[in-house]
Structure 1
Amino acid sequence: MGFFDRIFGRNKEENESAAPTPRQSDIPPAKVGPNGDFDESGLAKRVAIAFDDDNQLGDLERLWIAQLGSKVVLKGECPSQSLLTRAVTVARGVNGATDVDTSEVSVG
């Protein structure tokens, strides 16, 4: 089970991606959903898709993704600092992410 399915309770649709084209130009980048429509959790969903697409992250079953505005919030557990660093790098690379908070992640 991937991040998207575990966190949002459904499989990613074929037209959903980490880098969608917004369907309306007035949607803030953090609120663009994986299919390009307005979505309050759009950034978190696109980060989940980016994590699923990254072969280094695999499925970290104890790591969760949330968002506060344009800030990505990671919570839970990560088995190593190198995997957490990779997760932060991937999250920062998603359009609309201005910061990544890892204060609620324990490593080890």
Structure 2
Amino acid sequence: MGWLQRLFGMEKPADAQTNPAPAGSAPDGGEIPPERVGLNGEYDQSGLAKRVALAFDQDQELTDYDRLWVAQTGGTVVLKGEVPSQDVLNKMVSVARSVSGATSVSTDQVKVG
């Protein structure tokens, strides 16, 4: 099972991207904020977290660690749970930062080991 499937109960959409161009507009008719851009450029309240999960799925070094969750607070990617090593956590932070709309990555709620 991959990150998207486990965290959001969805298979990867056909043209899903980690950094798609916004398509359409936000519910208020304005421009879609970077952290709300979905997998295909649509408005998605959890867009950033889903795109980070997709980026984790696409990185062959990051298997689906079933004790770690991805959330977001605005442009901050929030990692919660447990990872086996600091190296794994560092890799996850690096991948998460590479996703457009991510302004920071919080690891305060991650236990290493």
Give the Cα separation in 1 of the matches to 2:104 and 2:19.
17
- Establish whether residue 67 from structure 1 lines up as the match of residue 62 from structure 2: no
Amino acid at match of 1:15: D
Tell me which stretches of 4 or more aligned residues in structure 1 moved more than 2 Å. none
**1:51 Cα offset (Å):** 0.3
The two structures have a TM-score, normalised by structure 2, of 0.92
Paired-residue identity, %: 56
Indicate the SS of the match to 2:12.
Answer: coil
Which structure has the larger Rg? 2
Amino acid at match of 2:74: G
Partner of 2:14: 14
- Paired residue for 1:23? 23
List gaps (5 residues or longer) in structure 2. 26-30
Alpha-carbon distance in 1 for matches of 2:50, 2:65: 16
Partner residue of 1:90? 95
Kindly report the root-mean-square deviation, in angstroms, between the aligned alpha carbons of the 2 structures: 1.0
Deviations 1:42-80 (A, max 9, x none): 000000000000111111111100000000000000000
Match for 2:94: what amino acid?
A: T
Q: Which amino acid aligns with 1:22?
A: P
TM-score (norm 1): 0.96
